[in-house]
Amino acid sequence: MLIRSLTLATLLAVAGPLFAADNDTPLAQERGKSRPLIVIAPSSIDPTLVNLKKSLDDPATKKAFQDRSMVLYTVVQLMGQRDGKDLDAQTTMALIRELKLGVSGETKVILVGKDGEKKLEHLGPIDAKALFETVDQLPAAEKEATPPAPAVAETPAKGSKAAKPAKPVKPPQPLDD
């Protein structure tokens, strides 16, 4: 009995964080809601990053960016931001790990679809129009992707009776070792 309990406890201790880590990543939270555009740059004065931010300051480009349900993630020297708001170090590292990128000194631009798959991975400068064309060429199934609906407990209607509570179950017999 003791061996089984220890085995179960060990299994849960090892597997628990792995299951929790799958849903805690930034891209997992965006899945079905928006299309993350991730720019990983070696410095804050990188021409690709500066030009992309400047183009997003234009009201027409910003509206097109929002119409396509896109969010901008930037990672500069391991400091991450989501739409201009700072991310903590753990979230930034989870984002980098989830992208499974190799070491490179160049700027990378990555577009992730609503389904969580990489749709575009580009080294160096890219303009917003090329990104929008990529999003517009996505299949209809990806464009209409929605997040999985959370499980909702059903509540009885006003005029109906509530269901009877189930009978309590007898506890299982202890096992003999």
* Per-domain boundaries in the chain: 20-140
* Token pair belonging to 131: 């990104």
Report residue 15's pLDDT band, with 50, 70 and 90 as the boundaries: low
Stated pTM of the model? 0.64
Provide the Cα torsion 79, 82, 85, 90; round to 10°. -50
The pLDDT tens digits for 32-91 are: 888 888 888 888 888 888 888 888 888 888 898 888 888 988 998 888 888 888 888 888
Please give the class, per CATH, of domain 20-140: alpha beta
pLDDT recorded at residue 106: 83
Tell me the C-alpha distance between 134 and 131, whole Å: 5
Compute the average pLDDT of residues 145-149: 50
Compute the average pLDDT of residues 2-16: 65
Tell me the C-alpha distance between 2 and 10, whole Å: 12
CB atoms under 10 Å from CB of 49, counted, come to: 21
